[in-house]
């Protein structure tokens, strides 16, 4: 145990020395120029411990990068490895290089490794991913957690190291939920990693003292995530319709949220409650296969509604609601077959998606349900139709033709709360011009998906 602690401390010291590979002079933090104001505390701390030293010109040079041979040499010296200049396992390392012995010894000790092509690239700058590997091994980190970066998936060779570093509070990635593992690491970044490894006061806050207050769903085309609770704060990322966030605290109308590794503040107006039940919605793109539906103004109904339905399904992926599609390609399931498929897959509500056709002057959106009386199923159908229609006419910027009681087969002969929504008239030039665009197809899909979320929140 003692040897393990000593090895960790030596490794930390070694890591810090990589920063000062060029000739240095002793200098105080107060006399060193070029220290980023944002990180004065961390770098001053390292200067006070003689971890960071000044260059002959008295500058910090925070944007300078660290090479792989510098890192290997410092690792070798710190761990007492054999530094005798000699031939290494890598053909691109000159055996007379000052670093050759340390590189070979570090490889034998399992501290560093080369590239898949058998080279080491000693003059190459070390990347953030490589440094994550080095620091996580030097500190003997063991704890991992459920972290995610947009550019580091679980199959990535650096995923484990990045996870260890993030879980330890040494790194939190970059704005927007990225880690940038292939980006070279600078003296400033490296200084921050070392300071956080040496002193827990500098570690990235993991909000361990905060509990999740609620789960929400984003209800906006896109939602800016900001550094603080107000529009005056810098944007650090964006969220899209249907993405789920965890709310950790409230500040007025603003909420501090996490979504993956994206953290920041969003306005509460653009958040819906995330349905908590185990809900499954059946989405039914009308017509298909041998039945094209309506055709006008260059549009074919079966193609249009399939596209919108697939988009709606994508919006629902992160809302906590499962989706059953009655068709995902151009084929024709019978009307009764659509209902049977929904019930067989344990759907608890049914939405059939269509486009209208009539006189060229007819325009707008409308949604249908069926009710002979007002049973629980029928009342739920009315609510589902209302939630979807209220969003649909606004998103489509079309006239609202309302919610109507009509006995279409898929809504009348259906044991589930069921609706049939018409997203516009193919026979109307204005409606059709919108339905030809991806913008309005996305709008229709959002309206349907978020209307379903409204419905399930009402159910709860």
Q: In angstroms, rounded to a whole number, what is the distance separating the alpha carbons of residues 364 and 22?
A: 71
Burial class, 180, CB count within 10 angstroms (exposed 0-12 / middle 13-18 / buried 19+): middle
**Quick one: CA dihedral 121, 124, 126, 129, positive or negative?**
negative
Angle at 109 between CA 104 and CA 115, to 5 degrees: 60
Q: In angstroms, rounded to a whole number, what is the distance separating the alpha carbons of residues 117 and 119?
A: 6
Burial class, 8, CB count within 10 angstroms (exposed 0-12 / middle 13-18 / buried 19+): middle
Q: In angstroms, rounded to a whole number, what is the distance separating the alpha carbons of residues 298 and 287?
A: 17
Query: DSSP letters along 369-384, please?
Result: E--SS--HHHHHHHHH
Q: In angstroms, rounded to a whole number, what is the distance separating the alpha carbons of residues 7 and 438?
A: 58
Query: DSSP letters along 290-352, please?
Result: TB---EETTEEHHHHHHHHHHHHHHHTTTTT-EEEES-SSS----HHHHHHHHHHTT-SEEEE
Are the C-beta atoms of residues 378 and 370 closer than 8 Å to each other?
A: yes
* Neighbouring-strand partners of residue 296: 299
CA-wise closest residue to 339 among 409, 291, 423, 421: 409
Instruction: Respond yes or no: is residue 422 known to be catalytic.
Output: yes
Q: What φ, ψ does residue 115 adopt, rounded to 5°?
A: -90, 160
Residue 282: C-alpha distances to residues 43, 53, 286, 289, 452 (Å): 57, 64, 12, 19, 10
* Active-site annotation holder among 243, 422, 429, 460: 422
Q: In angstroms, rounded to a whole number, what is the distance separating the alpha carbons of residues 190 and 136?
A: 13
Are the C-beta atoms of residues 286 and 352 closer than 8 Å to each other?
A: yes
Q: Which residues are catalytic?
A: 422
């Amino acid at each position: 145990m003692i040897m393990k602690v000593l090895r960790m401390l030596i490794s930390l010291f070694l890591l810090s020395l990589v920063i000062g590979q060029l000739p240095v002079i002793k200098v105080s933090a107060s006399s060193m120029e070029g220290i980023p104001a944002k990180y004065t505390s961390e770098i001053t701390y390292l200067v006070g411990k003689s971890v960071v030293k000044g260059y002959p010109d008295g500058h910090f040079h925070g944007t300078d990068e660290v090479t792989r041979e510098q890192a290997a040499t410092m690792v070798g010296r710190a761990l007492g490895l054999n530094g005798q200049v000699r031939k290494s396992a890598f053909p691109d390392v000159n055996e007379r290089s000052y670093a050759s012995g340390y590189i070979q010894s570090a490889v034998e000790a399992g501290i560093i490794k080369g590239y898949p092509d058998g080279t080491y690239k000693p003059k190459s700058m070390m990347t953030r991913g490589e440094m994550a590997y080095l620091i996580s091994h030097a500190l003997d980190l063991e704890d991992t957690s459920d972290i995610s970066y947009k550019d580091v998936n679980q199959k990535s060779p650096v995923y484990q190291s990045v996870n260890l570093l993030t879980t330890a509070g040494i790194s939190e990635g970059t704005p927007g939920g990225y880690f940038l593992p292939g980006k070279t690491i600078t003296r400033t970044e490296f200084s921050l990693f070392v300071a956080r490894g040496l002193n827990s006061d500098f570690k990235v806050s993991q909000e361990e003292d905060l509990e999740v207050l609620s789960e929400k769903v984003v209800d906006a085309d896109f939602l800016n995530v900001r550094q603080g609770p107000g529009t005056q704060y810098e944007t650090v990322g964006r969220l899209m319709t249907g993405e789920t966030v965890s709310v950790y605290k409230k500040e007025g109308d603003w909420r501090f949220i996490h979504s993956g590794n994206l953290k920041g503040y969003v306005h509460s107006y653009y958040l819906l409650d995330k349905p908590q039940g185990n809900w499954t919605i059946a989405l039914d793109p009308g017509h298909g296969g041998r039945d094209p539906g309506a055709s006008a103004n260059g549009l074919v109904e079966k193609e249009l509604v399939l596209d919108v339905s697939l988009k709606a399904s994508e919006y629902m992926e992160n809302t906590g609601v499962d989706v059953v599609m009655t068709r995902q390609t151009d084929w024709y399931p019978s009307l009764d077959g659509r209902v049977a498929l929904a019930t067989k897959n344990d759907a608890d509500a049914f939405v059939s998606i269509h486009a209208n056709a009539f006189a060229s002057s007819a325009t707008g959106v409308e949604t249908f349900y069926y009710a002979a009386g007002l049973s629980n199923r029928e009342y739920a159908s009315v609510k589902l139709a209302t939630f979807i229609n209220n969003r649909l006419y606004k998103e489509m910027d079309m006239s609202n033709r309302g919610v109507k009681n009509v006995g279409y087969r898929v809504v009348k002969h259906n044991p589930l709360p069921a609706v049939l929504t018409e997203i516009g008239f193919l026979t109307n030039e204005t409606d059709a011009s919108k339905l030809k665009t991806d913008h309005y197809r996305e709008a229709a899909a959002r309206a349907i998906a978020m209307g379903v979320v409204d419905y399930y929140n009402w159910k709860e």
